[in-house]
Chain A
Amino acid sequence: MGEETVHALRGVSFDIYKGEFVTIMGASGSGKTTMLNILGCMDRPTSGHYILDGEHTEKLKRDALANIRNRKIGFVFQSYNLLSRTTAIENVELPLLYNSKISAKERHQRAVEALKMVGLEDRMNHLPNQMSGGQQQRVAIARALVNDPVIILADEATGNLDTRTSYEIMMIFQELNRQGKTIAFVTHEPDIATFSGRTITLRDGLLKKDSVNENIQDAKAAFEALPPPEEYEL
Chain B
Amino acid sequence: MSPITLIKISLRALLRNRMRTFLSVLGIVIGVAAVITMVAMGEGSKKSIKEQMTAMGTNAIIIMPNRDRRGGVQTESTESLEEADVIAIRENATYINGVSPMMTVNGQAIVGNNNSPTALSGVSADYLKIRNYEIEDGVMFDDEADRMAKVCVIGQTVIKNLFPGVDPIGKTIRYKSIPLKVIGTLKTKGSGDFGQDQDDVIFTPYQTVMKRFSATTNIRQIYANSIGEGYAEKATEEIMGILKERRSWTKPTDPFRVFTQEEMIQMVTSTSDLLSLVLTAIAGISLFVGGIGIMNIMYVSVTERTKEIGLRMAIGARGRDILLQFLFESVIISLLGGAIGIALGIAASEIVKNFMNWPMSVSITSVIVSFGVCFATGVFFGWYPARKASRLDPIEALRFE
Residues of A within 8 A of B (CB): 37, 40, 42-43, 62-63, 66-67, 69-71, 75, 77, 81, 83-86, 94-95, 97-100, 143, 147
* B interface, size bucket: 20 to 34
Please determine whether B316 and A99 come into contact, CB atoms closer than 8 angstroms: yes
Chain A residues near B312 (CB-CB < 8 A): 94, 98
In chain B between 296 and 321, which residues have their CB closer than 8 angstroms to a CB of chain A? 307-308, 310-321
Q: B2, B315, B320, B321: which has the most chain A beta carbons within 10 Å?
A: B315
Given contacts A62-B318, A69-B314, A97-B1, 15 further A-B contacts (CB under 8 A): A37-B395, A40-B314, A42-B394, A63-B318, A66-B318, A69-B313, A81-B310, A81-B314, A94-B312, A95-B315, A95-B316, A98-B312, A98-B317, A100-B1, A143-B315
A88 CB → nearest B CB, Å:
15
Please determine whether B398 and A98 come into contact, CB atoms closer than 8 angstroms: no
Please determine whether B5 and A97 come into contact, CB atoms closer than 8 angstroms: yes
In chain B between 74 and 104, which residues have their CB closer than 8 angstroms to a CB of chain A? none
Closest to A81 in B: B311
Q: Does B69 contact A (CB under 8 A)?
A: no
- Cα-based distance from A69 to B317 in the complex (angstroms): 9
- Cα-based distance from A135 to B1 in the complex (angstroms): 29
Q: B2, B314, B318: which has the most chain A beta carbons within 10 Å?
A: B314
Closest to A67 in B: B316
Chain B residues near A37 (CB-CB < 8 A): 395
Chain A residues near B310 (CB-CB < 8 A): 81
17 pairs, CB–CB < 8 Å, chain A vs chain B: A42-B394, A63-B318, A63-B320, A66-B318, A69-B315, A70-B316, A81-B310, A81-B311, A81-B314, A83-B311, A85-B16, A94-B312, A97-B1, A97-B9, A98-B315, A98-B316, A147-B316
- Cα-based distance from A99 to B318 in the complex (angstroms): 11
Q: A43, A83, A95, A147: which has the most chain B beta carbons within 10 Å?
A: A83
Please determine whether B316 and A83 come into contact, CB atoms closer than 8 angstroms: no
Q: Name the one of A69, A81, A86, A147 contacting B307, with C-beta atoms under 8 angstroms.
A: A81
Query: Nearest 10 A-B pairs (CB), nearest first?
Result: A70-B316, A95-B315, A98-B316, A66-B318, A81-B311, A63-B318, A69-B316, A85-B16, A42-B395, A98-B317
In chain B between 382 and 401, which residues have their CB closer than 8 angstroms to a CB of chain A? 394-395, 398
Chain A residues near B234 (CB-CB < 8 A): none
Q: Does B187 contact A (CB under 8 A)?
A: no
* Contact A86:B12 (CB < 8 A) given known A63-B318, A75-B315, A98-B317: yes
Please determine whether A70 and B315 come into contact, CB atoms closer than 8 angstroms: yes
Chain A residues near B307 (CB-CB < 8 A): 81
Closest to A83 in B: B308
Q: Name the one of A67, A83, A94, A97 contacting B318, with C-beta atoms under 8 angstroms.
A: A67
B324 CB → nearest A CB, Å:
12
- Cα-based distance from A181 to B394 in the complex (angstroms): 25
Please determine whether A71 and B315 come into contact, CB atoms closer than 8 angstroms: no
- Cα-based distance from A99 to B308 in the complex (angstroms): 18
Closest to B320 in A: A63
- Cα-based distance from A233 to B16 in the complex (angstroms): 39
* Contact A62:B308 (CB < 8 A) given known A69-B314, A86-B12: no
Chain B residues near A67 (CB-CB < 8 A): 316, 318
* Contact A71:B316 (CB < 8 A) given known A85-B16, A86-B12, A100-B2: yes
Please determine whether B395 and A43 come into contact, CB atoms closer than 8 angstroms: yes
Chain B residues near A62 (CB-CB < 8 A): 318-319
In chain B between 336 and 357, which residues have their CB closer than 8 angstroms to a CB of chain A? none
Chain A residues near B16 (CB-CB < 8 A): 84-86
Q: Name the one of A84, A86, A94 contacting B315, with C-beta atoms under 8 angstroms.
A: A94
Q: Name the one of B314, B315, B319 contacting A63, with C-beta atoms under 8 angstroms.
A: B319
Interface membership of chain B positions 44-66, coded 1 if the CB is closer than 8 angstroms to chain A and 0 otherwise = 00000000000000000000000
Chain B residues near A147 (CB-CB < 8 A): 316
- Cα-based distance from A115 to B9 in the complex (angstroms): 21
Chain B residues near A100 (CB-CB < 8 A): 1-2
